[in-house]
Amino acid sequence: MTIAAYPKHHSFKPSGFDWVGDVPEHWEIEKLGSMLTAVSEKNRPDLPLLSITREQGVIERDVEDQDSNHNFIPDDLSGYKVLREGQFGMNKMKAWQGSYGVSAYTGIVSPAYFIFDFAREVDPHFFNIAIRSKLYVSYFASASDGVRVGQWDLNQSRMRQIPILLPPLPEQRAIAAFLDGKCATIDEAVRIKEEQIRLLAERRQILIQEAVTRGLNPDAPMKDSGIDWIGQIPAHWEQRHNKFIFGLTKKLVGKHAPEYDLLSLTLRGVIKRDMENPEGKFPAEFDTYQEVAPGDFVFCHFDVEETPRSVGLSPFFGMITGAYTVYRPTEDVNPRFLMHFYIFADTGKKMRGMYKGLRNTIPKDSFASFKTPLPPRDEQDAIVDHIDDQSQKIDAAIAIKQSQITALREYKTSLINAAVTGKIKVL
């Protein structure tokens, strides 16, 4: 059902705000300053720790998770404030992102948060849905100075001028109930499609695993590979030591670093880094970085268990940190067959039996002595073509599902915006 198909109110009046437009005649237009009363209650050490996030609003905080919402939890919580169920809380540093909401819990929050009681009768659930809608988040962003600092802590007059649209209390409750039902249906549809995407990705992984360990002929005679996580392989396949497949190469770029593109090993494989818009930290100089050529393999042989992806086949010429190991494969092997095999091995961290030390390191000599199962070159090529063909079909199916998820989420956003601004009639 499209937004246009929902019933409309009969009469409207100007809201006085371009970003809202006209509102139903019987709705009130309040200012946030007249709706809220600031409160500050001393810390209660017996209460759970809460946090306010952009994605979920007020949540219970896992004290073991120091990275949640990028906030560090100090040892001394004596300065923390009490946020009670039904009160409105705001992360003043991230209000522009939408880090605010009505709490469903009673607990303690950072002293950097603002806490408010409602000064007039309002349905807290409706208020929470309305003020966390995309329209309001955009308004808070435009009402904030700088990149991070919201003006609630610096400019109380600006806070007081933020408009809140209020239908009669029964209509507030009806809108909240309507959106709860509709959003639950949309969220379930998204969940189903996300599960379908997960199953498609799993199917692709099984396809690759079967192809690089069993080949394409289901009737081929088999033999034991001698490696538990590989199992049986076609009897005519070779098992070749990696020292006869991968040639170790390490050419430091030295003072020529400015002549190279900066590369990185990611979940997407080896990529070029954008030096103009950098993300993450860069060293002061790149002299110890090493050269990577197209067709080279980049392995992260340390912290393997914790590294999301520890192998990549580079399509680029550039430089990468000297902490990685760069190999050049022999010419009689299809490098993309090796890539598929070692991504399969890395996905389940199947080579953990080779780890040494506290950093889960695969020693270079252990890797060199490992025997990679290799079909004849023409069969390698056929396997790569098969994986590419089937992967393209799976990727196309995943892209359709992702597009459907995007459309559902956009519809949900539009439906919420329309309901809380009176563009559709719920009651």
Q: Select the more confidently predicted residue: 43 or 343.
A: 343
Tell me the pLDDT band of 148, cut-offs 50, 70 and 90: very low
Q: CA angle at residue 325 from 323 to 330, to 5 degrees? A: 165
What is the Cα–Cα distance from 58 to 238, expressed in whole angstroms? 58
Q: Which residues contact 230 (CB under 8 A, 6 or more apart)?
A: 213, 373
Q: Which two tokens stand for residue 113?
A: 């948060």
Identify the CA nearest to 336 among candidates 386, 370, 300: 386
Range picked from 34-38, 231-235, 423-427 for highest mean pLDDT = 231-235
What is the Cα–Cα distance from 270 to 288, expressed in whole angstroms? 19
Query: Given this model, what pLDDT does residue 149 score?
Result: 43
Quick one: how far is CA 341 from the chain centroid? 26
What is the Cα–Cα distance from 308 to 306, expressed in whole angstroms? 6
What is the Cα–Cα distance from 58 to 109, expressed in whole angstroms? 10
Identify the CA nearest to 43 among candidates 78, 89, 76: 78
Q: Which two tokens stand for residue 65?
A: 């998770």
What is the Cα–Cα distance from 363 to 355, expressed in whole angstroms? 8
Q: Which residues contact 311 (CB under 8 A, 6 or more apart)?
A: 265, 297, 298, 299, 300, 339, 342, 343, 345, 346
What is the Cα–Cα distance from 136 to 162, expressed in whole angstroms? 9
Query: Given this model, what pLDDT does residue 64 score?
Result: 56
What is the Cα–Cα distance from 228 to 213, expressed in whole angstroms? 12
- What mean pLDDT, rounded, does the chain reach? 90
Q: Is 263 left (phi over 0), alpha (psi -120 to 50) or beta?
A: beta
Q: Mean pLDDT throughout 3-15? A: 92
Tell me the pLDDT band of 288, cut-offs 50, 70 and 90: very high
Asked if 257 and 289 touch (Cβ cutoff 8 Å), the reply is yes
- One DSSP character per residue, 111-153 reads TTEEEEEESS---HHHHHHHHTSHHHHHHHHHT--SSS--GGG
Q: Select the more confidently predicted residue: 290 or 282.
A: 290
Structural domains in the chain, CATH included, are 1-9+168-215+376-427 (1.10.287), 28-166 (3.90.220.20), 238-374 (3.90.220.20)
Query: Given this model, what pLDDT does residue 72 score?
Result: 60
Asked if 151 and 128 touch (Cβ cutoff 8 Å), the reply is no
Q: Is the dihedral of CA 353, 358, 360, 366 positive or negative?
A: negative
Tell me the pLDDT band of 334, cut-offs 50, 70 and 90: very high
Q: Mean pLDDT throughout 74-84? A: 83
pLDDT tens digits along 260-278: 999 999 999 999 998 766 6
**pLDDT over threshold 90, residue 78:** no
Is the pTM higher than 0.85? The answer reads no
Helix %, strand %, coil % for the chain, to 5? 35, 20, 40
